[in-house]
Amino acid sequence: MFRIFFATDVHGSDICWKKFIAAGDFYKANLIILGGDMTGKALVPLIGEKDGTCTVDFQDNRMVLKKPEEIPKLEKRISDRGYYPIRIERSLLEGFSPEKASEWSNETFGKLMIERVRSWLKYADQKLKSSGVGCYVCPGNDDVFNIDEIIRESESISSAESRVLEIGGAYEMVSTGWSTPTP
Amino acid sequence: MSEKKLFLRDATGLVRAWSLYDSFVYSALSINVVSLGWYAFSDGAFIPGGNLITATVVSAFFIFFEILTYALLIAVMPRAGGDYVWQSRVLSGAVGYVLSFTGYVFILWLWGPIYGDILSILVFSPIAAVLGNSSAALWWSSSNGVFASSILTIVIVAVIISFGMKRYARFQKWCFHIGMVGLVVTYVILAVSSQSSFQAAFNSWTGQVFGASGDSYTAMQTLATGGGLSGLAGLTDWNVSTSLGLIPFIAFFNLYPVWGATLYGEVRGSNDFKRNLKALTISLVFTTILAVLGFVLFANAFGWNFWNSSNYVYWGTVYAYNPSTPALPFPIFPSPGLFAGILTGNLFVELFLLVTLSFWYWGWSGTLFITSTRVMFAAAFDRIFPAKFADVNERLHSPINAIIAMAVPTAIFSYLYAYVSFNGTAFSTFTLDAVLVIAVMYLGTAVTAAVLPFRRKDLYEGSPIAGYKVGGVPLITIAGAVTAFFMAWLTYEWASNSVYGVNNPYSVVMMIVLYVIAIILYFSFKGYRRKQGFDMNKIYSTIPVE
């Protein structure tokens, strides 16, 4: 029996992506498909204070990190949950004009989203290359256009966007990330 | 540019469908002081020495831990299906399935006629009485009336379910606001009235409506004493030890402030622990205050002994009807709303109070099937229940199959509740079975919460509540343990004391049948899926990260 594992909306979560990649082996699936919305929705600033500590608001908690070694651990937790940790000094944050803030936000999101998708594809290539499990992903309506190109660079993952694909020798799959606005 | 906007990008799915206030209203209606409270408080006279205020406050203390447990669990796993999802992912699929299907689906078949009974005796019967139609008032309290109200309830709830979450939130808010107006006016009337004026008004009204003569007020108390009422605790006889015996009755009213747990998967931002805790706690405190204030005002206006005696006589005639009993001067349920209206002697005010107070019922009625449909959805998505029960009819915007799965058995249970007795034991005396089965499900969820940090370390440590500890012990473990103790104690009390109507053989058989149906369903589906090549154990286990 040809078996398919379908998931969607991982939204930047490192853990969800790794589980998606592991799902083929776990469920003995021949093909794994990610239906869309790969990228996260929020940055979590790790704000450097004058006294050398770092303030972070995450999951309804305000944390003050006093030791530098605490920072990578928290950054991993943030990435696991699907957000993008970003280190920024308090003085820089407070000095933003509205125009500069908007520009910084767009640039940072763009850079971090692409970085994370690249790291995910690298991880998938290591895990899937000799596994015999096929993998399709299709960017969704919450994803930026830039990631289409990056997905095409992968050795083990194929983009399903705007294509008609034959699945398991018996079915055809059509996929698109375009959708009507969410109500 | 606000700091919040600076760190968020434009994307779908960030709009909250339900506000903190919506969550509060849903919770406050789930333990509402009128429909559930007045019904439960009428059992106060059946535990000698039991004080209603003490029992209400002590039970609220333990129910706070239930709220804390659920707010913490919702923060870890905000999923549609609530208890079913938590128990099945942390304990086992079989435990989650059996406890949730009995607690959220099957036992709601019994709740249907209980809702119907409440509609009959708190809404239709008193309205007929104030309109001067005593035979209609008695009919609504009869088996036929309760059956008719139960069927009507099923129809109303089916319509409400088709509203969708956003419209439902608006509907319940309107009901809550109108119901509150009715309750505030009721309380004001009771606060400014005296027992002597009530006695005169009551005697006159029972004469006009039911043809009673003489001092009906005193006659009701004499009837109660003659019927066996003794040891009634005064309003301020706190008696903690004897009042504990009232808690299994009071639980009928206040055990479910977390009834919305199965819906939280549809509530955006629902993993906000502090927000949920705040909404649910405010609801519990608010409802407890309304209940205690009510007791004080009932004692002030009606007289504590009279109100309890009326309740005692009413349930005595329902559950131990003796044809040789003389005609009662007041033969219907002693609704405090009706009594407040009688005090005014004004038909318009009487109708205003009964109609506005009925909105506590309308706003609450949706809670009957909404949660059941969500558990069916969650189980259907897990392929352990037929997928067609998760279908939503596009034309009617309603889960028709899930509603039918609830409505047909509820109609059968309504018939049993209204008409059937087993060797002289009326099916309707099994009312507290409906609470017991839910408490057992809550017990399962409380154990789930207590062990979650150890059995699902990955989930717990990645959750927003990982930092909440008391003396190094996870808060969710402490909250779960206290809640589990309370639920286990309640279950023991119901099972060991015959006053609650639960521990007779027929009641036990009915509950066992429900659990057996759930067990058969679970293992049948598991076997069926295995034949199709699905390993159901993998549905409930977690995919390894690496």
Task: Name, of B71-80, B260-269, B358-367, the range with top average pLDDT.
Answer: B358-367
Residue A59 contacts B, CB cutoff 8 Å: yes
pTM comes to 0.89
Cβ contacts of A77 on chain B, cutoff 8 Å: 462
Residue pair B128/B354 in contact by the 8 Å Cβ criterion: no
Residue B467 contacts A, CB cutoff 8 Å: yes
Percentage of residues in chain B having pLDDT higher than 70: 94
Give pLDDT, residue B269.
64
Give pLDDT, residue B4.
60
Closest by CA to B319, choosing from B453, B424, B468, B460, is B424
Lowest mean pLDDT among B56-70, B173-187, B273-287: B273-287
Mutate to test the interface with B, among A16, A41, A55 (most CBs of B within 10 A): A41
Give pLDDT, residue B212.
94
A positions 160-179 inside 8 Å of B (CB): none
Which residue spans within B396-471 are E strands per DSSP?
421-422, 425-426, 469-470
Q: What is the DSSP letter of B35?
A: I
Residue A22 contacts B, CB cutoff 8 Å: yes
Give pLDDT, residue B275.
84
Give pLDDT, residue B293.
98
Residue B327 contacts A, CB cutoff 8 Å: no
Residue A26 contacts B, CB cutoff 8 Å: yes
- A41:B11 CB<8 A: yes
CA dihedral (A60, A64, A67, A71) in degrees, to 10, reads: 40
Where are the domain boundaries for CATH 3.60.21.10 in chain A?
4-40+114-174
Lowest mean pLDDT among A47-61, A100-114, B390-404, B448-462: B390-404
Q: Distance, in angstroms, between B9 CA and closest chain A CA? A: 6
Q: What is the 3-state secondary structure of B63-125?
A: HHHHHHHHHHHHHHCCCCCCHHHHHHHHCCHHHHHHHHHHHHHHCHHHHHHHHHHHHHHHHHH
Nearest to B6 among A105, A141, A142 (CB): A105
Three-class secondary structure of residue B23 per DSSP: helix
Give pLDDT, residue B265.
66
- A141:B273 CB<8 A: no
A58 pLDDT tier (thresholds 50, 70, 90): confident
Percentage of residues in chain A having pLDDT higher than 70: 98
Give pLDDT, residue B398.
72
Q: Taking 60 as the threshold, does the pLDDT of residue A183 lie above it? A: no
Radius of gyration (C-alpha) of chain B in whole angstroms: 24
Mutate to test the interface with B, among A28, A60, A88 (most CBs of B within 10 A): A60
Superfamily of structural domain A4-40+114-174? Metallo-dependent phosphatases (3.60.21.10)
A80 pLDDT tier (thresholds 50, 70, 90): very high
Tracing tokens 């096929």 back to the chain, one arrives at A134
Q: What is the DSSP letter of B329?
A: S
- A81:B462 CB<8 A: yes
Give pLDDT, residue B108.
95
Tracing tokens 């605790």 back to the chain, one arrives at B233
Residue A23 contacts B, CB cutoff 8 Å: yes
For residue B505, CA distances in Å to B315, B409, B425, B511 come to: 21, 22, 10, 10
**Residue B321 falls in which region: left (phi positive, over 0), alpha (psi -120 to 50) or beta:** beta
pLDDT tens, B142-184?
A: 999 999 999 999 999 888 877 777 788 889 999 999 999 999 9
Q: What is the average per-residue pLDDT within B100-125?
A: 96
The pair phi, psi for residue B326, each rounded to 5°, is -65, 155
Query: What's the mean pLDDT when you consider all of chain B?
Result: 91
Give pLDDT, residue B203.
97
Mutate to test the interface with B, among A61, A80, A97 (most CBs of B within 10 A): A61
Q: Tell me the C-alpha distance between B260 and B131, whole Å.
A: 37
Residue A96 contacts B, CB cutoff 8 Å: yes
- B273:A60 CB<8 A: yes
Give pLDDT, residue B270.
66
Cβ contacts of A27 on chain B, cutoff 8 Å: 538, 543
- B1:A109 CB<8 A: no
Q: Taking 60 as the threshold, does the pLDDT of residue A7 lie above it? A: yes
Q: What is the average per-residue pLDDT within B108-113?
A: 96
The dihedral of CA B28, B31, B35, B41: what is its sign?
negative
Residue B8 contacts A, CB cutoff 8 Å: yes
B15 pLDDT tier (thresholds 50, 70, 90): very low
Q: What is the 3-state secondary structure of B493-528?
A: HHHHCHHHCCCCHHHHHHHHHHHHHHHHHHHHHHHH
pLDDT tens, B278-326?
A: 999 999 999 999 999 999 999 999 999 999 999 999 998 887 655 556 6
Lowest mean pLDDT among B4-13, B367-376, B525-534: B4-13
pLDDT higher for B9 or B340? B340
pLDDT tens, B465-506?
A: 988 999 999 999 999 999 999 999 999 999 999 999 898 899
Q: What is the average per-residue pLDDT within B55-83?
A: 94
Percentage of residues in chain B having pLDDT higher than 90: 73
Nearest to B7 among A1, A26, A45 (CB): A45
Q: Tell me the C-alpha distance between A134 and A6, whole Å.
A: 12
Query: What's the mean pLDDT when you consider all of chain A?
Result: 90
Nearest to B462 among A18, A77, A181 (CB): A77
pLDDT higher for B459 or B324? B459
Q: At how many degrees (to 10) do helices B475-496 and B247-254 cross?
A: 120
